[in-house]
Structure 1
């Protein structure tokens, strides 16, 4: 098993869903959580400051739209897009993302697999 740790940042404004994401991330031993942000203006700064390997990004969040955060940040982490509106993601945004997770999370394996997919791309 690889002992390398990959860093992860959660950008999500629903506190209950943040807790669910934290629980799932703990299932992936190679990943450590750097922190969370509940607004996109703070998130853009955090991405450049913390330089996470993996970003869990809610599209609909207070402040800027999720994709605008990626445009503002110089650092470009592997991104997993999270939204309860998949049609909105596909139609309205040009986001370079590794995986899409639809809310509510039906099972943790979907997110665990998406995180492993990010790790495999690094």
Structure 2
């Protein structure tokens, strides 16, 4: 199996190489930080699986999910797996939606990672089951959620989004229902846990 890793952390890439390369199932393991020549490298190396981190630091303006989506437009048959320390439901759902073959936490043990990659190479997918189903928030609800978490008042939210205060209230009510919460503090806490907003926002 040939694996190509896209990650901005050199130490992680080296550690993963050491963990996997002694296994006879691994024919080739390579890593890159060069996003500009990534398509050329894929076309040249023909990896069985492309592993992409979500947070690519300063390598590109895109995150790993956006990069995955663009690469699949160019290489629709390429098996791409998101390997990330940000193991959040929103990211897992988005990875599945855009056509990635799997989502794996960086906390995974090397032996388990190898097993998962082999099953994906064979045609399977790997997305951990959600313990609790959360209905997806709309774009409008996400914007309201982010603004509330930033401390913006309802009237100001309405002005910024060019909607009425009543619509803002309706969005908040829908968010409460979808996240199954009963207060603003609980809403923000759960939204952070699920990955809808970053802690840096608050």
Tell me if structure 2 keeps the 8 A contact 1:12–1:39: no
User: Residue 106 of structure 1: CA displacement?
Assistant: 4.3
Q: Secondary structure at the match of 1:86?
A: coil
Tell me if structure 2 keeps the 8 A contact 1:43–1:69: no
- Aligned residue number for residue 57 of structure 1: 52
- Residue by residue over 1:71-103, the C-alpha shift from the partner in whole angstroms, topping out at 9 and shown as x without a partner, is 246234222211111225235553323332213
- Aligned residue number for residue 113 of structure 1: 115
Partner Cα separation in structure 1 for residue 103 and residue 19 of structure 2: 15
User: Residue 32 of structure 1: CA displacement?
Assistant: 2.1
| Bigger Rg over Cα | 2
Q: Which structure: greater helix fraction?
A: 2
- How many residues are paired up? 116
TM-score, length-normalised on structure 2? 0.49
- Aligned residue number for residue 80 of structure 2: 79
Partner Cα separation in structure 2 for residue 42 and residue 66 of structure 1: 16
Partner Cα separation in structure 2 for residue 66 and residue 44 of structure 1: 14
Partner Cα separation in structure 2 for residue 78 and residue 46 of structure 1: 15
Q: 1:26 aligns with which of 21, 25, 44?
A: 21
> Which structure 1 residue ranges, 4+ long, deviate > 6 Å from structure 2?
none
Partner Cα separation in structure 2 for residue 111 and residue 25 of structure 1: 9
User: Residue 34 of structure 1: CA displacement?
Assistant: 5.0
Q: 1:35 aligns with which of 23, 27, 30?
A: 30
Partner Cα separation in structure 1 for residue 23 and residue 80 of structure 2: 16
The answer for unaligned runs of 5 or more in structure 1 is: 1-5
- Aligned residue number for residue 100 of structure 1: 103
Partner Cα separation in structure 2 for residue 84 and residue 10 of structure 1: 14
Tell me if structure 1 keeps the 8 A contact 2:53–2:64: yes
Q: Which structure: greater strand fraction?
A: 1
- Aligned residue number for residue 68 of structure 1: 66
Partner Cα separation in structure 2 for residue 36 and residue 8 of structure 1: 8
- Aligned residue number for residue 13 of structure 1: 8
